[in-house]
Amino acid sequence: MKLTPSDRLQTLQTQYFAGLESHISTLKAAGKKVIRLDIGSPDMPPARHILEALWQSVQRADVHGYQPHRGSKALLEAWSRMYQQRYQVDLDPDQDIVPLLGSKEGIFHLTQAFVNPGDVVLIPNPGYLTYESAARFAGGQPYFMPLSAERGYLPDLNAIPREVAERAKIMWLNYPNNPTAAVASKSFFQQAVNFARQNQIILCHDAAYSQVTYDGYQSPSILQADDAKDVCIEFNTLSKSHNMAGWRVGVAVGNPALLKNLYTLKTQLDSSHFKPILDAAVVAMTADQSWLEERNQIYQRRRDQIIKALNDIGLYPNTPKASLYVWSPIPAGWTSETFCQALLDDIQVSLTPGTVFGKYGEGYVRICVCADEEIIREAMQRLQIWMGKQ
């Protein structure tokens, strides 16, 4: 029939969290109190001065039309300023920056801009779902780089076969990592840049969690590596860094020739953003940043709550230096999926199975810190009581 979807669309499946929403809705309709620690959506609002900037802008009569595809000059300069102050990376606002409607959109579209059918895309496993779905939609061939605890959840670049590296078009990295919460050093980033330059691979780094850090840790940008701009695009976003997930303010920065192709595709797909959101984003990046440390301290207390509770029941996860997640082993005798399903059905605590992020996530669950301390305390108490009955 002519009504059948395209072959490209049939490479995709409904995302895990969309299906989870339906099951949770059923439980809630039955009167169950479900505690969600499964999805990384910040539960706190942006700082007051960001909200005030949005409100002031939205009242103007001249901000409700289409905006330039690259946003405002002030927005580009704000991204440049933030990168210089946060990472000591210099970006040319006119060449090195393409604003995005959230980094997820840019990750998907960058792949469409460069990957031809049969091209190899190097993808961490476990890893963010969009890397794989974007590759398959473009007709690319995913090659999964295993992330293991023994290597600190860093891929072994030397283990990638030469013939695979020669065919690879893009390699994805993501630190601080989703889902494992692992971090990468500047020296590893330098190794990755050297590998990409040697094999003529576009190196894409997803830095969504780079400003959610704990215990004094500072997350680097891959663009701090020598010669990184020769091959690198880094994706960033205000979703996690400034509690603006629903605002959809992201960016791609790095190699200007690569960004030009992404920009060409985006001009066919969208018409920039709502001006008041852009105005508020400028304020978010250029005004007082001290509130981020206070926010991170709240996340850190929640992290510590979860770690202590899991240690008390004998699971002993690593204590993350960054991200919104705790990556925890599961008890013996379960798979990641059956463990999470039992928790949801028996005690209405929703965690994410590690296998959602790939087969190398088996044996783990991802737990999010995006809930109030009282809610986390109740979730951990439910878990401890339930575990005592198993």
The pLDDT value given to residue 275? 93
Shortest CA distance to 180 belongs to which of 200, 152, 217? 152
Residue 69 binned pLDDT confidence (cut-offs 50, 70, 90): confident
Question: Torsions phi, psi of 5, nearest 5?
Answer: -70, 165
List, for residues 229-282, the tens digit of each pLDDT value: 999 999 999 999 999 999 999 999 999 999 999 999 999 888 889 999 999 999
Is the distance from CB of 147 to CB of 166 less than 8 angstroms? no
Claim to verify: residue 200 and residue 320 sit in the same structural domain: no
For the chain, give the percent of residues with pLDDT over 70.
98
24/315: higher pLDDT:
315
Token digits of residue 283: 């304020």
Asked which of 104-108, 123-127, 172-176, 385-389 is least confident by mean pLDDT, the reply is 385-389
62 assigned to some structural domain: no
The pLDDT value given to residue 33? 92
**Rounded CA gap, 151 and 169, in Å?**
25
The pLDDT value given to residue 26? 87
Q: Is the pLDDT of residue 14 over 70?
A: no
Asked which of 70-74, 282-286, 288-292 is least confident by mean pLDDT, the reply is 70-74
Claim to verify: residue 80 and residue 155 sit in the same structural domain: yes
The pLDDT value given to residue 390? 58
98 assigned to some structural domain: yes
The pLDDT value given to residue 189? 98
314 assigned to some structural domain: yes
50 assigned to some structural domain: no
**Rounded CA gap, 102 and 88, in Å?**
23
For residue 4, count CB atoms less than 10 angstroms from its CB and return exposed for 0-12, middle for 13-18, buried for 19 or more. Answer: exposed
Is the distance from CB of 281 to CB of 78 less than 8 angstroms? yes
What's the CA dihedral at 280, 284, 286, 287 to 10 degrees? Answer: 100
**Rounded CA gap, 113 and 255, in Å?**
14
Q: Measured over all CA atoms, what is the biggest interatomic distance in the chain, rounded to whole angstroms?
A: 62
Q: Which of 285, 312, 333 is the last residue of a domain?
A: 285
The pLDDT value given to residue 1? 58
Claim to verify: residue 87 and residue 115 sit in the same structural domain: yes
The pLDDT value given to residue 87? 96
148 assigned to some structural domain: yes
Q: Which of 228, 257, 285 is the last residue of a domain?
A: 285
Claim to verify: residue 157 and residue 297 sit in the same structural domain: no
Q: Which of 240, 259, 285 is the last residue of a domain?
A: 285
The pLDDT value given to residue 71? 87
- Beta-carbon count within 10 A of 354 CB: 27
Claim to verify: residue 229 and residue 371 sit in the same structural domain: no
- Beta-carbon count within 10 A of 55 CB: 11
The full DSSP string for 243-288 is: T-GGG--EEEEE-HHHHHHHHHHHTTT-----HHHHHHHHHHHHS-
CATH number, domain of 146, equals 3.40.640.10
Structural domains in the chain (count):
2
Question: Torsions phi, psi of 349, nearest 5?
Answer: -115, 120
60 assigned to some structural domain: no
CATH number, domain of 312, equals 3.90.1150.10
Claim to verify: residue 127 and residue 271 sit in the same structural domain: yes
2 assigned to some structural domain: no
Please compute the mean of the pLDDT values over residues 356-363 and round it to a whole number: 96
Token digits of residue 133: 């779905």
Claim to verify: residue 138 and residue 27 sit in the same structural domain: no
Claim to verify: residue 306 and residue 371 sit in the same structural domain: yes
The pLDDT value given to residue 10? 79
Domain enclosing residue 209, as ranges? 67-285
Token digits of residue 179: 């889902």
CA geometry: angle at 35 spanning 13 and 292, to 5°? 90
**Rounded CA gap, 68 and 58, in Å?**
17
Claim to verify: residue 270 and residue 294 sit in the same structural domain: no
Q: Is the pLDDT of residue 19 over 90?
A: no
For the chain, give the percent of residues with pLDDT over 90.
86
Claim to verify: residue 139 and residue 192 sit in the same structural domain: yes
Claim to verify: residue 269 and residue 341 sit in the same structural domain: no
Claim to verify: residue 238 and residue 360 sit in the same structural domain: no
Token digits of residue 367: 């737990």
370 assigned to some structural domain: yes
List, for residues 194-242, the tens digit of each pLDDT value: 999 999 999 999 999 999 999 999 999 999 999 999 999 999 999 999 9
What residue type is assigned to position 86 of the chain?
R
- Beta-carbon count within 10 A of 157 CB: 17
**Rounded CA gap, 145 and 153, in Å?**
10
Please compute the mean of the pLDDT values over residues 107-116 and round it to a whole number: 96
